[in-house]
Amino acid sequence: MDLTLLYRGPLASCDYDCPYCPFAKRRDSRDQLRADRARLERFTDWATGQTTDRLSLLFTPWGEGLVRSWYRRALTHLSHQPHIRRVAIQTNLSCRTDWIAGADLDTLALWCTYHPGQTPYDRFLAKCRELDRLGARFSVGIVGLPDHLDAARRLRADLPDQVYLWVNAAEGRTYDDAEADVWTALDPLFPYSRRPHASAGLPCRTGESVISVDGEGTVRRCHFVRAELGNLYDGTYRQALRPRPCPLTTCDCHIGYVHLETLPLYDVFAGGVLERIPASLT
Ligand code: SF4
Ligand code: SF4
């Protein structure tokens, strides 16, 4: 079967200090890092052995994964497995980029976020240009806050046209029409992010063809619904996979609502759902 997995292990540290993030400049102890590495390796081994399924994987760490060698190694290794269609990760792109040349670039993809104030603009842009030179698949995005607008405009002007620049509505922020138009001029798909999506009772692919997995292998339908479906490593999750409506009122995060069947986003992002690359750009 085709199965999409969103993996989030215990890693919770980040090298950046974004004012809008609870994980800013958090440190993991040596033991916590060791535990994160062991759990990631267990998940990687499981995915490697799952050869009768076709897997798409997105790593969504709380903190920054790619500054850790074990994430770079896992992504490289998984990208070479024939039954893995896509392996992607959310990253601030502060990592080195030389490892990317060792991955299968038809399978690897990066969801990159620019955080103004955390790294010089030119340094981030140079990393994007290096990804482009290497032939990597990647999207670039930014949080739609007023003081990010200049950087967003610069990025849109400086990035190659075929690199999608997405804009995420800032959490809890209301955008009037004029403000929304400004962001939509940079990201034509911003209207999907502008407001949380009413989701109660609506069909969502999570829990059927998409699941969320934590470091212990606990399987949930998505990162936002806490009810457990079973465990990945003892196989108990499998019998729980079936269509089911969303039990929450709203879904306001792209990695969730992209799977809502009432939205057209599997068509909009066909071939790039996990790394957020629209079909029109590929
Ligand atoms: S880069 Fe991401 S994880 Fe790190 S502080 Fe900023 S928002 Fe948080
Ligand atoms: S709509 Fe969002 S919150 Fe609801 S089940 Fe799907 S991903 Fe989870």
Query: How do the domains of the chain map onto residue ranges?
Result: 2-281
pLDDT the model gives residue 282: 65
pLDDT the model gives residue 127: 98
Residue to mutate (ligand 2; options 210, 257, 261; most atoms within 8 A of CB): 257
Q: Please state whether the predicted TM-score (pTM) of the whole model is above 0.85.
A: yes
What are the residues whose beta carbons fall under 8 Å from the beta carbon of 99, sequence distance 6 or more? 72, 76
DSSP 3-state of 144? strand
Contact between 84 and 30 (Cβ < 8 Å): no
Could you give the CA distance from residue 91 to residue 113 in angstroms, rounded to a whole number? 6
Instruction: Name all residues whose Cβ lies below 6 A of ligand 1.
Output: 14, 16, 18, 21, 23-24, 63-64, 92, 115
For atom 3 of ligand 2, the residue with the nearest CA is 251
Distance 51 CA to ligand 1 centre (A): 34
For atom 4 of ligand 2, the residue with the nearest CA is 246
Alpha helices of 50-111 — where are they, by DSSP H? 69-79
Positions of the chain with pLDDT under 50: none
Contact between 271 and 264 (Cβ < 8 Å): no
Burial 30-62 (b: 16+ CB within 10 A, else e): eeebebbbebbebbbeebbebeeeebbbbbbbb
2-281: which CATH number, 3.20.20, 3.30.310, 1.10.1760, 3.40.50?
3.20.20
Atom in ligand 2 nearest the alpha carbon of residue 255: 7
pLDDT the model gives residue 281: 79
